[in-house]
Amino acid sequence: MTKDLTKGRPLTLILQFGLPILLGMLFQQLYNVVDTAIVGKFLGGNALAAVGATGSINFLVVGGSIGICSGMAIPIAQRFGAGDYDSLRKYVTGAVYCSLFFAVTITSFTVIFSRSILEMMNTPADIIDLSWVYITTIFAGIPGYILYNMCSGILRALGDSRTAVVWLVIASAVNVVLDLVFIITLEWGVFGAAFATTISQFLAGFGSLWKVCRGFEVLKLHKGDWQWSWRRIWNLLSLGVPMGLQFSITAIGSVMLQSSVNVLGTMYVTATTAANKVSIFLACPLEAMGSTMATYGGQNVGAKQWDRLNQGLRSCCLLGIGYCVFALVLVLLVGNNLVMLFLDEASAGLVPLSMQLLRTLVFCYVFLGAIFIFRNYIQGMGFSPLATVAGILEMIARAGVSFLVPLYGFNAACLASPAAWIMADLFLVPAYFYCVKTLKKRYPAMGE
């Protein structure tokens, strides 16, 4: 079933639409959590550090691919909100063309240059071979990430936030089984962890594709829908590429920070990996709120429902603040146990370092939540270039602090992400009000 977010109480709609997205993101993160936990427990600290050392470059490439797909789903959500189903189908086929291009291009480039990238990041010599095996396998599976995220983006644009979740649950279960088989039984090491993730991602992608192809009357394509249109391709790219660049630009700062942490040694890489894995998992509700607001914003802009924009923003911000308080209390109470999920007994002495980073990150979650909500909302409203500017500011702040790591050590590394979040928020919050004002001026009669 499709879901219309242009009618009804915003808070109720956000919860109903966002909870399945949250469940999907939790299961998507479960891929990485299970990989990392099994690697840390069964392969040891060096293997955990090897996987962790690829985290920022993984986010740079895979996150950029996901961002492109999310951006290309925005015109589809807007056409659905406007009730223009003929144009909607043509945008779906345009998204197919663009996705095929990006899948081939990004995969080829990253697989070829992954070793060189790791060397440029000062990856420690004792883990670089393992890091290369892991990340190259992940990069070879980028078409699976693009397939799943393009299909899930189309489903969310039509108000279906559940189907992609169901397939992620199935894929996550498969991933756990394959991890145990590949790593413990077959002893394939970090390659087994990455290969299990890649297979599972393709499974989720093909499952979601089946629903896109057969599940909606408005998506039954005709021969004319496949006609090439430069105008539609340009509209898709003008939203998808800036959104992908925003992810990638943000990740550049993370790559620079990871490079600085790598210089500190394998011990700090291991501690950082454990803390970041917990933090990323805990941040899923905030990310789900952002994805929800992208679709909510896209549909309501398509329907010219300006009064609902601020209503939705207030509701989502209240939810975000409430969750941030919960996450902080959780980390203060059981944070030690959470980081130990990723550390073996030999690495237990690193818990204080991991907790220092984790507490700092979660204490500043309110700023991260604001980024997800305002940035995705702005993108859903059709102003992706502004979100890209925020990504640039975030990159500058994180990169600037990373230069202080050699001078001030791990303390500086802990403050890098919070500084980046605050810098981005200083731009995004006023940018949102600028976007609303611009839309009302563009359509004055409808904005009154």
- The pLDDT tens digits of the residues spanning 156-215 come to 888 777 888 888 888 888 988 898 899 888 888 889 988 998 999 899 999 989 888 887
Compute the radius of gyration of the chain from its Cα atoms: 21
Cβ 348 vs Cβ 325: under 8 Å? no
Closest CA to 280 of 21, 28, 112: 28
Q: Burial of 222 by CB count in 10 Å (0-12 exposed, 13-18 middle, 19+ buried)?
A: exposed
> What's the pLDDT band for 254 if we cut at 50, 70, 90?
low
Residue type, 409: G
* Digit-coded pLDDT (tens) for 54-90: 877 887 788 788 888 888 888 888 788 777 888 888 8
Residue type, 207: G
Neighbours of 157 (CB within 10 A): 30
* pLDDT tops 60 at residue 2: no
* Digit-coded pLDDT (tens) for 106-116: 999 989 998 98
| The predicted structure's pLDDT at residue 399 | 83
> Can you tell me the distance from the alpha carbon of 64 to that of 109, in angstroms, rounded to the nearest whole number?
14
* pLDDT tops 50 at residue 447: no
Cβ 251 vs Cβ 56: under 8 Å? yes
* pLDDT tops 80 at residue 347: no
* Digit-coded pLDDT (tens) for 8-46: 788 888 887 777 777 767 766 666 666 677 777 778 777
> Can you tell me the distance from the alpha carbon of 398 to that of 387, in angstroms, rounded to the nearest whole number?
17
* pLDDT tops 80 at residue 258: no
Percent of the chain topping pLDDT 70: 93
> What's the pLDDT band for 398 if we cut at 50, 70, 90?
confident
Neighbours of 125 (CB within 10 A): 9
Averaged pLDDT, 208-228: 81
| The predicted structure's pLDDT at residue 326 | 95
| The predicted structure's pLDDT at residue 159 | 77
Q: At what angle do helices 284-302 and 55-82 cross, to 10 degrees?
A: 30
Closest CA to 268 of 141, 448, 102, 411: 411
| The predicted structure's pLDDT at residue 51 | 80
* pLDDT tops 60 at residue 92: yes
Neighbours of 155 (CB within 10 A): 25
Closest CA to 278 of 320, 322, 336, 326: 336
| The predicted structure's pLDDT at residue 27 | 67
Report which listed range, 37-46, 82-91, 290-299, 418-427, is most confident.
418-427
Angle, alpha carbons 166-183-141 (nearest 5°): 50
* pLDDT tops 90 at residue 423: yes
| The predicted structure's pLDDT at residue 251 | 67
> What's the pLDDT band for 382 if we cut at 50, 70, 90?
confident
> Can you tell me the distance from the alpha carbon of 294 to that of 313, in angstroms, rounded to the nearest whole number?
11
| The predicted structure's pLDDT at residue 260 | 76
Virtual torsion, Cα 50, 188, 136, 257, nearest 10 deg: -10
The mean pLDDT value of the chain amounts to 83
pTM for the full predicted model = 0.69
Percent of the chain topping pLDDT 90: 21
Q: At what angle do helices 307-339 and 266-282 cross, to 10 degrees?
A: 140
| The predicted structure's pLDDT at residue 446 | 43
> Which residues, including other chains, have CB under 8 Å from residue 213's CB and lie 6 or more apart?
219
* pLDDT tops 50 at residue 445: no
Q: Which residue has the higher pLDDT, 282 or 122?
A: 282
